[in-house]
Structure 1
Amino acid sequence: MGYYIDLGKITIDDYKTKLQSAYLPPSRMVLKEKLDERFEYFKNIGIKNVKELVQLLKKKEKFAELSKVECFSGDYLTILLRELKSILPKPNKIADFTEIAKDAISKLEKTGITNTQKLYDKVIKKSDRKNLADSTGIDDQEILQLTQLTDLSRIKWVGATYAQILYNLGADTVEKVTNSDPVDLHVRINQMIKEKNIFKGSIGLNDVKILIESAGELPLEIEY
């Protein structure tokens, strides 16, 4: 299956259903409006799945044409494309994980492994991780930590710092995040942010619900 969700396997109807019940930030609530009308239009022009929808919206001339259609007026298409792109988050740089030893980061970079997507295929199985530890000289436990941080990095909107917070809270895999209670995890995340002065402000409960929902959509391939 791989690092990302296979967008080609998500039908237009499935994605419409997802949006109906999805937790969305206020700035993206417009995506819940006119769902039947908008998605029926996409189907009528031959769009069958989310991969095809992303490809369509990325074409400037097609985007411009669609913007003139009445049901897509305003910023709807721009916001939809942002939401679709967030399904495939940009990989985190290994060097951005501040709790990983610089020596380990350097050893991985020498082999061409600079981000979580490049690391993913090399840590899926226990035997893969053993081979990577042997070939790089990185400690087995540190390889496991990097594996878990890589797993978490696949979740929408989870940057290196957020992945490290989840790891330190024990929600250290996609599966554990999926099975977390949102209220409990929300409280513990913000307690850690405050106690360790990680950054100013806090993470909202709705954001944690989005985190858990997004984690639940990811394939579970890593062997622990």
Structure 2
Amino acid sequence: MGYTLDYDRIELGHYLEQLTKEELLPSRTALKKQINKRFTAISRQGIRNLSELRSALRSKAHVSEFSSECGVEPEYLCLLLNQINSMEATPMQLGVLPDVDFDAVSKLAKEGVDTTRALFEAGLTREKRKNLVQHLGIKPKSLLELVKLSDLSRIPWAGAVCCRVIYETGIDTVAKVASTNEDLLYLRMQYVLKQLAYPIKRLRPVDAQRCVKAARQLTFDIQY
């Protein structure tokens, strides 16, 4: 459970398969060179999942030590760690989300609930949301919208505008995104962009694919 990925659940072999198929940034395409050989060397050190790998590479000194033990170059290990860390979404300020109830955002901020992560945790259950509505005088619809946007913000690569676009498709929670056909999400996002003209420069099928795949690696914690 939690706002971010549970790296314990992502097995090294599964991530190897994922990384092999993924379209990487130009600066990270070197990760695919001799990828099977390097991942085999990593797994021989007893690494079973991404949580254990992140722990093994938690500092420059640990990277150097692990490199000496497994024979994989430290430059490769650092690049791999950067790629793994990019899977984790960074919480954003509620106020940067487009077209939300800013009165609700202001009232939440006064209670210290000013980020998507904070609201994710504060609005996990119907009872918690009911208490926020009663205590702060927020419209239930406005709060639920903000909670759903906060849920969607857990998807890596989904910025504030992208979260809004996904929300407007009606596929408005992480659980729904995870169970959605990638092509359907892409088509619905395209439709929303044409109708509402949100400032996303370019939307590709691979972007929708990444969202769905990332959502499937998250836990579905919020009670709707």
Contact 1:124 1:222 in 2 (8 A): yes
Q: C-alpha separation between the residues in 2 aligned to 1:210 and 1:29?
A: 17
Q: For 2:208 and 2:30, locate their aligned partners in 1 and report how far apart those are by CA, in whole Å.
A: 20
Q: SS of 1:121's equivalent?
A: helix
Q: 1:149 to 1:128 in 2, by over 3 A?
A: same
Tell me if the contact between 2:162 and 2:200 (Cα under 8 Å) persists in the aligned partners: no
Q: How far does the alpha carbon of each residue in 1:163-182 deviate from its partner, in whole angstroms, 9 at most, with x for none?
A: 11111111111122123232
**2:6–2:218: 8 Å Cα contact kept in structure 1?**
no
CA displacement, residues 78-115 of structure 1 (integer Å, 9 cap, x when unaligned): 43222211222101211111322222111111111111
TM-score normalised to structure 2 length: 0.86
1:215 aligned onto 2:215: yes
Give the stretch that moved more between structures: 139-148 or 177-186. 177-186
Residues 97-112 of structure 1: pairs in structure 2 closer than 5 A: 97-112=97-112
Q: State the TM-score, normalized to the length of structure 1.
A: 0.86
Conserved? CA contact 2:178–2:212, under 8 Å = yes
Alpha-carbon distance in structure 2 between the residues aligned to 1:121 and 1:49: 26
* Equivalent pair of 2:56/2:66 in contact (CA under 8 Å): no
Q: Per-residue CA shift, 1:149-197, capped at 9, x if unaligned?
A: 0110111111111111111111111122123232232233234334433
In 2, the alpha carbon distance for the partners of 1:11 and 1:176 equals: 24
In structure 1, C-alpha distance between the alignment counterparts of 2:11 and 2:191, rounded to whole Å: 39
**Aligned counterpart, 1:24:** 23
CA RMSD after TM alignment: 2.5
> Which ranges in structure 1 are unaligned for 5 or more consecutive residues?
none
What is the CA-CA distance between 1:213 and the residue it aligns to?
0.8
Q: CA separation in 2, counterparts of 1:6 and 1:201? A: 31
State the partner residue of 2:63. Answer: 63
Structure 2 SS opposite 1:148: helix
Cα distance in 1 for residues equivalent to 2:159 and 2:40 = 35
Superposed, which structure 2 residues align to 1:178-193 within 5 Å?
178-193=178-193
* Residues in 1 aligned to 2:79 and 2:159: alpha-carbon distance in whole angstroms: 21
Query: How far apart are residue 216 of structure 1 and its match?
Result: 1.2
- 1:55 deviates by 3.0
> Retained in 2: the 8 A contact 1:24–1:210?
no
Q: Name the count of aligned residue pairs.
A: 222
Correspondence list, 1:38-187, <5 A: 38-64=38-64, 71-72=72-73, 76-187=76-187
Deviation at 1:130, TM superposition (A): 0.8
Q: Percent identity?
A: 31
Conservation of the 8 A alpha-carbon contact between 2:41 and 2:71:
no
* Range 9-18 or range 94-103, more displaced: 9-18
* Contact 1:25–1:207, Cα closer than 8 Å, also in 2: no
- 1:200 to partner: Cα distance: 5.5
Contact kept in structure 2, 1:38 and 1:72, CA below 8 Å: no
Q: Who is 1:10 aligned against? A: 10
1:2 and 1:199 map into 2 onto residues whose CA distance is: 30
- Higher mean alpha-carbon deviation, 90-99 vs 55-64, is at 55-64
Residues 118 and 12 (structure 1), Cα distance of their counterparts in 2 relative to 1, 3 Å cut:
same
| Contact 1:193 1:202 (C-alpha < 8 Å) held by counterparts | no
- Asked whether the 8 Å contact 2:120–2:147 carries over to 1, the reply is yes
Deviations 1:27-65 (A, max 9, x none): 344434433321222233343331232233341233356
- 1:204 maps to 204
Separation in 2, partners of 1:43, 1:179: 31
